[in-house]
Amino acid sequence: MIFEDPVMASRFLTLMTLTFHIIYATIGVGIPLFIIIAHWLGIRKNDEHYIYMARRWSRGYLVTVAVGVVTGTIIGLQLSLLWPRFMELAGQIIALPLFMETFAFFFEAIFLGIYAYTWDRFDNQKKHFLLLIPVAIGGGMSAFFITIVNSFMNAPAGFDLVNGELVNANPIAAMFNPAMPTKVFHVVVSSYMTAAFVLASIAAYRLLKGSRHSYHKKALYLTMKIGLIFAIATAINGDFSGKYLAAYQPEKLAAAEWHFETDDYAPLLMYGILDEDQEVKYAIKVPYMLSILGFGNPAAEVIGLNDFPEEETPPLIVHYFFDSMVTIGSFMIILALIYWIGIKRGWTFVKSRIYRWLIVLGGPLSILAIEFGWWMAEVGRQPWILRGIMTVEEAATTSDYVNVMIILFALLYLILGVGTVVVLRRIFKNNPVEKELKAVEQGDDQA
Amino acid sequence: MSLEILGIAVLWTFLFGYVIIGSIDYGAGFFNAYSIITGKQHILSKIIQQYLSPVWEITNVFFVFFFVGIVGFFPQTAYYIGTIFLIPGSIGLILLAIRGSYYAFETYSSKGHKGYAFMYGLTGLLIPASLSTVLAISEGGFVYLEEGNPVLDYWELFTSPVSWSIVALSIVAVLYISSVFLTWYANQTGDEDATNLMRKYALIWAVPLIITAVGIVYELSFHNTEHYNRLTDLWWMFGLSFILWALTVWLLWKKRNYGTAVWLLFGQFALAFYGYGISHYPYLLYPHLTIYEGFTNQAMAISLVIVFILGLALLVPSLYLVLKLFLFDKDYVQGKKNKG
């Protein structure tokens, strides 16, 4: 991809870096919770399987964290390299959460290092378990703070601009901006949801590949159950996000829903395509639903895109992102719910090959949903980098060499992506659970 | 002390932390690769891996701290340095990424890949070189304004003896710091061969270190006279630094008190590093940006300082725990307790 203009080139490079980074970041935030749960269950039930689960997950987790750290460092510095004007302004008002994020990350890094290298150094598993708490807190907090930075970009607050000069800076008010609660909650719970379904996907895959070990069955049941809880939480929060958008970023909601005319009793459009004349075709219309989504009231008026100046409306492609994200989310809730009920009631089809393949699919799909969600959130606030204050055009670097950097970074991400897959396979494929657990096997029930 | 000075002192301290632990890390990677080429892998690789694996992420965080901190305290640097640093910064990032992924791809998966180990060693020299160009740039003379936007004059930068002497010092310093530290560490593990080898490297790099350091001062006397004069005003700091260097080398030569040698090394670099930093005052980017022009608003500065103090209260005990577990635990260091 070669761009004439440094603005487009900077946008593309940022998109590329973030798209790659959030895969690792999401896993990085989500997985520690499951390591904690497994380790804790292992101690409480005195079941070696769960301890091994924690151990194996943390081994894979270290690899993804390493790449996450690397790509996170890249995006951290790229913000200044590609968007110098933005960081100059934002640095005066949003540096606090950015700074706190590095502390949270430091905290996580320290204890993760200790946890990973001290499996044999504590006689008491409980002491070793305690090290995980700061890891999970650090991971959660860094998601919390960095999402605050992003929500500030969507809903700048905590300062006044007088003749282009920033005055009355209030860093705390900037952090607690209107977009913060829904965004932070959505990011954190969807990370837990994604991590759950990724782990479930691995367990289901091992079972499909002929392993009949109860380790995988325990892992599958555990992750699907917790995944279900977080998937439902994500969906509920999605509803709050809709209400936030209607109140504070109506142009994003209108673009996501292809809602052109301001109207009450507004319907929700699902799927469909947009032809050259901006006419919506083949869409499923759910009456009143957009008014309900936006305001919780079927009669509410929803502002249409036509009421915004054309240069301030986001690209209409975000509709596809929105639909894909919601569809995957709903699919995962149904899949996990049926699985959970099925196990409770003894339905055999949830153990069938086809159902397990669907679970395998669930992991990559959830990651895809994360990508769609971020693309919708970020592309949906075009043309702004700071909504209502600074456009991406004003913020981008004036340097001419961004194109070359795109090629270099694309190569790097390719190497890192392929490397992750190769290394994870090498770690786990040659060390199946059966082999590792043999030593501690005590007449296991092949449940 | 004004908030500006406090801010830059905090950042300079983080940068110092990064320079020291980063150097150990970079140099270790280089010596690791070098030992593979020269067939001495069996002597060095084990102690290097044992030291590096648990701490590499922490090293990286010091770097992140510095650049997030500087944007926080001095937002205008994001604009100036961000605009002109695109290429050296991006190259540095890519090298850092290769390096970081080495841990993920090699250390955690037990099976070594020679090509990757070489890349890893090479980045140990290239990263300090690419990142240290920012120090050259901040000396002034390489940046001009075009339509109000700063532009970096690459030709000027690449042909300047100042930038090359800074690059040379950064590389030599990495090798020296790392070899002194690893001499001590290898000695702790009781590994005599590794100790002797690292001691040899430390002695080899000791003299070039002083030569390159003097070279920078000499080049600066032409390039930036103002800075040169401020440097010479602080001659006593550099003098003390030199004495500490001499003591370190003497201890290494006499093969004793390696622990003291490491502390002297830290002292030597601290004096030189802060001496250089103080003499740079008040400029961040000579002559375009001073710490007073670029400073953030009062409210942000105060909240950053508060968070910084709270953060340290959290970090210092945690770092102490890491040191206690991985550096000062005799059983771990001697390899009796292994990684998981």
Query: Using CA atoms, how far apart are residues A303 and A291, in angstroms rounded to an integer?
Result: 10
DSSP state, B325? I
Residue to mutate among A81, A98, A115, A415, with most B CBs inside 10 A, is A81
Q: What is the per-residue burial (b if ≥16 Cβ within 10 Å, else e) of B76-96?
A: bbbbbbbbbbbbbbbbbbbbb
Cβ neighbours of B108 in A, within 8 Å: 59, 62-63, 66, 423, 427
pLDDT exceeds cutoff 50 at B340: no
User: Which one, of A38, A66, A126, lies nearest residue A427 by Cα?
Assistant: A66
- φ, ψ for residue B287, nearest 5 deg: -100, 20
A–B interface: beta-carbon pairs under 8 A:
232
Instruction: Report chain A's mean pLDDT, rounded to a whole number.
Output: 85
Cβ neighbours of B339 in A, within 8 Å: 116-117, 119
pLDDT exceeds cutoff 90 at A17: yes
Q: Are A433 and A216 in contact (CB under 8 A)?
A: yes
Please answer yes or no on whether B339 and A119 come within 8 Å at the CB atom. yes
Please answer yes or no on whether A117 and B326 come within 8 Å at the CB atom. yes
pLDDT exceeds cutoff 70 at B247: yes
CA distance B238 to chain A (A): 32
Cβ neighbours of A81 in B, within 8 Å: 82, 85-86, 89-90
Task: Report pLDDT for B109.
Answer: 57
CA distance A264 to chain B (A): 43
pLDDT exceeds cutoff 50 at A443: no
Q: Domain segments of chain A: what residues?
A: 6-262+303-446
Q: Are B231 and B279 in contact (CB under 8 A)?
A: yes
Q: Are B94 and A409 in contact (CB under 8 A)?
A: yes
Q: Are B64 and A69 in contact (CB under 8 A)?
A: no
Query: Which chain B residue's Cα is nearest to A167?
Result: B297
DSSP letter string over B186-199?
HHHHT-HHHHHHHH
> What is Dmax (Cα atoms) for chain A?
76
Please answer yes or no on whether B80 and A84 come within 8 Å at the CB atom. yes
Q: Are A400 and A9 in contact (CB under 8 A)?
A: no
Q: What is the pLDDT of residues A260-282, one digit of tens each?
A: 888 888 788 888 887 777 777 77
Task: Report pLDDT for B133.
Answer: 83
pLDDT band at residue A438 under the 50/70/90 scheme: low
SS (H, E, C) A299-319: CCEECCHHHCCHHHCCCCCHH
SS3 B287: coil
**How far is CA A209 from each of CA A280, A356, A432, B110, rounded to the nearest angstrom?**
44, 11, 12, 25
CA B110 centroid distance within chain: 28
Query: Using CA atoms, how far apart are residues A51 and B24, in angstroms rounded to an integer?
Result: 35
Please answer yes or no on whether A99 and B308 come within 8 Å at the CB atom. yes
Of A87, A118, A405, the CB nearest to B71: A87
Of A73, A88, A100, the CB nearest to B75: A88
Q: What is the pLDDT of residues A74-97, one digit of tens each?
A: 998 898 888 888 888 888 888 889
Tokens encoding A358 = 């669907």
Task: Report pLDDT for A440.
Answer: 53
Query: Using CA atoms, how far apart are residues A171 and B224, in angstroms rounded to an integer?
Result: 38
- Nearby residues of A44 by Cβ (< 8 Å), 6 or more positions away: none
Query: Which chain B residue's Cα is nearest to A92?
Result: B296
Query: Using CA atoms, how far apart are residues B138 and A363, in angstroms rounded to an integer?
Result: 48
User: Which one, of B13, B95, B3, B1, lies nearest residue B294 by Cα?
Assistant: B3
pTM: 0.88
Please answer yes or no on whether B67 and A76 come within 8 Å at the CB atom. yes
Long-range contacts of B313-317 (CB under 8 A, 24+ apart): B314/A103, B314/A107, B315/A103, B315/A106, B315/A107, B315/A110
Q: What is the pLDDT of residues A184-205, one digit of tens each?
A: 999 999 999 999 999 999 999 9
Query: Using CA atoms, how far apart are residues A242 and B93, in angstroms rounded to an integer?
Result: 37
Beta pairing, strands A284-286 & A280-281: unpaired
Of A70, A87, A99, the CB nearest to B82: A87
Query: What ipTM was assigned to the predicted interfaces of this complex?
Result: 0.84
SS3 A209: coil
pLDDT exceeds cutoff 80 at B332: no
Per-residue pLDDT, averaged over B4-20, amounts to 86
Cβ neighbours of B101 in A, within 8 Å: 66-67, 70, 415-416, 419
Q: What is the pLDDT of residues A410-434, one digit of tens each?
A: 999 998 999 888 888 888 877 777 7
Of B76, B108, B340, the CB nearest to A118: B340
Of A70, A117, A420, the CB nearest to B96: A70
Residue holding tokens 């290769």? B98
pLDDT exceeds cutoff 60 at A442: no
Neighbouring C-alpha atoms within 13 Å toward the C-beta of B288: 21
Please answer yes or no on whether B57 and A82 come within 8 Å at the CB atom. no
Q: What is the pLDDT of residues B116-167, one digit of tens each?
A: 778 888 888 888 888 888 888 887 777 777 777 777 777 777 888 888 888 8
Dihedral of CA atoms A263, A321, A188, A426 in degrees, nearest 10, equals 170
Query: Using CA atoms, how far apart are residues A399 and B151, in angstroms rounded to an integer?
Result: 8
User: Which one, of A423, A378, A319, A356, lies nearest residue A212 by Cα?
Assistant: A356
Q: Are A175 and A97 in contact (CB under 8 A)?
A: yes
CA distance B162 to chain A (A): 24
Residue to mutate among A88, A125, A162, A427, with most B CBs inside 10 A, is A88
CA distance A227 to chain B (A): 27
pLDDT band at residue A147 under the 50/70/90 scheme: very high
Task: Report pLDDT for A30.
Answer: 92
Helix ranges restricted to H, A257-401? 289-295, 318-345, 353-379, 392-395
Percent of chain B, pLDDT > 70?
Answer: 94
Cβ neighbours of A404 in B, within 8 Å: 87
Residue to mutate among A17, A20, A80, with most B CBs inside 10 A, is A80
Q: Are B286 and B224 in contact (CB under 8 A)?
A: yes
Cβ neighbours of A402 in B, within 8 Å: 86
Task: Report pLDDT for B132.
Answer: 84
Please answer yes or no on whether B93 and A78 come within 8 Å at the CB atom. yes
Cβ neighbours of B326 in A, within 8 Å: 117
Q: What is the pLDDT of residues B266-304, one digit of tens each?
A: 998 888 889 888 888 787 777 777 877 777 778 888 888
Please answer yes or no on whether B97 and A416 come within 8 Å at the CB atom. yes
Please answer yes or no on whether B58 and A95 come within 8 Å at the CB atom. no
Query: What are the percentages of helix, strand and coil residues in chain B, rounded to 5?
Result: 80, 5, 15
Please answer yes or no on whether B83 and A419 come within 8 Å at the CB atom. no
Task: Report pLDDT for A439.
Answer: 55
Cβ neighbours of B96 in A, within 8 Å: 70, 73-74
Is the dihedral angle over the CA atoms A252, A255, A257, A259 positive or is it negative?
positive
Q: Are B335 and B189 in contact (CB under 8 A)?
A: yes
pLDDT band at residue B9 under the 50/70/90 scheme: confident
Of A73, A102, A170, the CB nearest to B299: A170
User: Which one, of A329, A91, A119, A342, lies nearest residue A232 by Cα?
Assistant: A329
Dihedral of CA atoms A431, A434, A440, A443 in degrees, nearest 10, equals 180
Per-residue pLDDT, averaged over A329-347, amounts to 90
CA distance B20 to chain A (A): 17
pLDDT band at residue A444 under the 50/70/90 scheme: very low
SS3 A262: coil
